[in-house]
């Protein structure tokens, strides 16, 4: 690709283009920018100033340094699958797209680690090493397209996080471009629990507000010797919920322990991957155990016993990998499946103590009745991570607002029973105000003080993660004042 200069009337565009290698590595015309006005959270939209596509850490660092010097707001973006609006350019940011930094840099099987660029797609890592018997554990439902860089920003979870932990448990090292353009390395040697403060943990899940990750060392795991998957149908949510508690109480740690309610089942059965779930039941459990072969059969026997003791209507074990695959496709496309039964839907992401599920579902049912909107529930039941999906029609006046309010009310319920407002999707712009359900002003200030250490000009992804009424506008004003002074 030959280097083509950009000649925009905006000198910043020209300079940024020069840094990243010309016109093929920058978008700045309004029609091109429209594709970047939101991410997986589609309710709020805003246009960036430009989108640049750096190829390496040096280019990222130079872009950041330029923005820092010229007081241009900026943020990083992976595949744009985030569900809380973390990559939406609220402040006319320069978006630094990581999609061209997508290499698998190294694999070290002996010490169980791999190094990737942030734009490397999650599932590709497992696909690259599965023939040698290894895999990467965190598996968000979007794993076929989301990037590991985005996973780090959001501390992404997934169905198998019950046994294996979320992204932060699998990150051994990071190269980070700080908001002033400096490059630092944390956990250089991929050794976990380094001395000093846990910066790795601090940056993972900081939703793109502390720095831009440009290289990631991850832990890889050996494929389990065996895997078995169970489907169990229950006439009553309370029975399904009790079965979840019983399985955990029996000392079994399933690799995954998922639940869907009646409305969710209606959706997944109407969409692309139906598997024939009965429609007259209140709950389906999808339970997977893995490990060495010798123990698996015994665990499955115990799980079947638990289900039968809790009045299961029907329970079955996947006969083969193909059937297992179909069950997981049905579950993993659960959010999108809502499109088959509703023009629009809003995903929420609360966490509750497992034992509170029946109470929470009944209160969510009440919210549904009061708002007049149907709510489906998909639940990582094992770790208490509940996804209420509020179904609505954005074309009907006022219904989007009603859906947002219903979603927020669901999170309030989660916080009220001793839970929290996000398990894996992050806060972004969507749940900023809901942060007040779980943090006091002082606790939020302790966090924004930390942000200030890393990001003193607050040019990097400002207005996200923490509530600050009117602060976005304020920041823009400050930036303009600084720029014109």
Per CB under 8 A, which of residues 214..233 are in contact with a copy of itself? 222-225
Residue 15 sits in the site that holds a copy of itself (CB under 8 A): no
Residue 181 sits in the site that holds a copy of itself (CB under 8 A): no
Residue entry with tokens 């609505």 = 392
Minimum distance of a copy of itself from residue 160's CB (angstroms): 15
Cα separation, 468 vs 474, whole angstroms? 10
**Residue 81 vs 168, nearer CB to a copy of itself:** 168
Q: What angle do CA 254, 255, 256 make, to 5 degrees?
A: 85
- CA nearest to 358, candidates 204, 181, 239: 239
Helix (H) or strand (E) holding 386: strand 385-392
Residue 284 sits in the site that holds a copy of itself (CB under 8 A): no
Cα separation, 317 vs 298, whole angstroms? 13
Residues of this chain, 100-129, that bind a copy of itself according to CB under 8 A: 110-111
Phi/psi at 17 (5° precision): -60, -40
Minimum distance of a copy of itself from residue 413's CB (angstroms): 13
Task: Pick from 52, 99, 129, 252 the residue near a copy of itself by CB under 8 A.
Answer: 252
Minimum distance of a copy of itself from residue 147's CB (angstroms): 20
Give yes or no for a contact between 40 and 83, defined as CB atoms under 8 angstroms apart.
yes
How far CA 23 is from CA of 1, 57, 58, 73, 97, in Å, comes to 10, 19, 18, 21, 15
Q: How far is CA 451 from the centre of its chain?
A: 21
Relative to beta strand 256-261, strand 283-291 is antiparallel
Q: Which stretch binds a copy of itself (CB under 8 A): 40-48, 310-318, 367-375, 434-442?
A: 434-442
331: tokens are 């579950």
Task: Pick from 106, 127, 130, 293 the residue near a copy of itself by CB under 8 A.
Answer: 293
Q: Which stretch binds a copy of itself (CB under 8 A): 15-23, 43-51, 303-311, 417-425?
A: 417-425
Q: Which stretch binds a copy of itself (CB under 8 A): 1-9, 87-95, 144-152, 426-434?
A: 426-434
Phi/psi at 136 (5° precision): -105, 125
The half-sphere exposure of 174 on its side-chain side, counting CA atoms within 13 A, is 26
End-to-end CA distance of the chain: 39
Residues of this chain, 186-215, that bind a copy of itself according to CB under 8 A: 186, 188-191, 193-199, 201-202, 204-206, 210
Residue 172 sits in the site that holds a copy of itself (CB under 8 A): no
Residue 292 sits in the site that holds a copy of itself (CB under 8 A): yes
**Residue 160 vs 313, nearer CB to a copy of itself:** 160
Count the site residues for a copy of itself by CB under 8 A.
78
Residue 452 sits in the site that holds a copy of itself (CB under 8 A): yes
Q: Which stretch binds a copy of itself (CB under 8 A): 145-153, 166-174, 314-322, 339-347?
A: 166-174
Q: What DSSP string describes 418-441?
A: T-BS-SSS--TTTSTTTHHHH--H
Give yes or no for a contact between 233 and 312, defined as CB atoms under 8 angstroms apart.
yes
Minimum distance of a copy of itself from residue 41's CB (angstroms): 15
Cα separation, 281 vs 303, whole angstroms? 19
User: What track of x and - describes contact with a copy of itself for positions 311 through 340 (by CB under 8 A)?
Assistant: ------------------------------
How is residue 83 annotated by DSSP?
S
What would you measure as the largest C-alpha separation in the chain, in angstroms?
73
Residue 182 sits in the site that holds a copy of itself (CB under 8 A): yes
Task: Pick from 86, 388, 426, 463 the residue near a copy of itself by CB under 8 A.
Answer: 426
Minimum distance of a copy of itself from residue 39's CB (angstroms): 17
Residues of this chain, 338-367, that bind a copy of itself according to CB under 8 A: 351, 353-355
Minimum distance of a copy of itself from residue 425's CB (angstroms): 10
Task: Pick from 185, 321, 370, 393 the residue near a copy of itself by CB under 8 A.
Answer: 185
- CA nearest to 385, candidates 430, 349, 346: 349
């Amino acid at each position: 690709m030959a280097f083509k200069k950009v000649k925009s009337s905006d000198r910043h565009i020209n300079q940024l283009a020069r840094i990243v290698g010309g016109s093929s590595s920058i978008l700045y015309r309004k029609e091109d920018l429209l594709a970047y006005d939101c991410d997986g959270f589609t309710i709020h939209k805003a246009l960036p100033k430009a989108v640049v596509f750096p190829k390496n850490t040096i280019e990222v660092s130079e872009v950041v340094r330029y923005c820092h010097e010229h007081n241009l707001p900026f943020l990083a973006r992976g595949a744009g699958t985030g569900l809380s609006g973390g990559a939406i350019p609220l402040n006319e940011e320069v978006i630094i797209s990581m999609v061209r930094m997508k290499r698998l840099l190294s694999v070290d099987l002996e010490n169980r680690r791999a190094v990737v660029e942030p734009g490397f797609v999650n599932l590709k890592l497992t696909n690259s090493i599965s023939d040698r018997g290894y895999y990467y554990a965190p598996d968000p439902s979007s794993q076929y397209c989301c990037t590991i860089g985005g996973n780090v920003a959001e501390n992404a979870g997934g169905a198998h996080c019950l046994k294996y932990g979320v992204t932060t448990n699998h990150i051994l090292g990071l190269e980070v471009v700080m908001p002033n353009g400096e490059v630092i390395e944390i956990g250089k040697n991929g050794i976990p629990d380094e001395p000093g403060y846990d910066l790795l943990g601090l940056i993972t899940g900081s939703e793109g507000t502390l720095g831009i990750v440009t290289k990631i060392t991850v832990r890889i795991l050996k494929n389990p010797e065996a895997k078995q998957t169970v489907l169990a149908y229950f006439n009553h949510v309370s029975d399904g919920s009790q079965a979840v508690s019983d399985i955990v109480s029996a000392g079994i740690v399933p690799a995954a322990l998922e639940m869907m309610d009646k409305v969710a089942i209606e959706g997944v059965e109407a969409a692309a991957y139906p598997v024939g779930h009965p429609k007259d039941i209140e709950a389906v459990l999808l339970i997977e155990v893995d490990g060495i072969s010798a123990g698996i059969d015994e665990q499955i026997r115990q799980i079947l016993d638990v289900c039968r003791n809790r009045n299961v209507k029907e329970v079955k074990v996947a006969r083969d990998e193909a059937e297992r695959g179909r069950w997981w496709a049905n579950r993993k496309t659960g959010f999108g499946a809502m499109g088959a039964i509703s023009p629009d839907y809003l995903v929420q992401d609360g966490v509750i103590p497992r034992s509170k599920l029946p109470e929470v579902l009944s209160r969510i049912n009440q919210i549904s009745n009061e708002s007049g909107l149907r709510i489906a529930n998909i639940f990582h039941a094992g770790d208490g991570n509940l996804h209420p999906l509020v179904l609505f029609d954005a074309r009907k006046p006022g219904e989007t607002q009603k859906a947002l309010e219903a979603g927020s009310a669901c999170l309030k319920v989660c916080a009220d029973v001793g839970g929290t407002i996000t398990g894996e999707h992050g806060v972004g712009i969507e749940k900023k105000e809901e942060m007040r359900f779980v943090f006091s002003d002082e606790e939020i200030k302790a966090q924004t003080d930390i942000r200030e250490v890393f990001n003193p000009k607050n040019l990097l992804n400002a207005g996200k993660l923490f509530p600050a009424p009117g602060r976005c506008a304020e920041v823009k004003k400050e930036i303009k004042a600084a720029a014109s002074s």
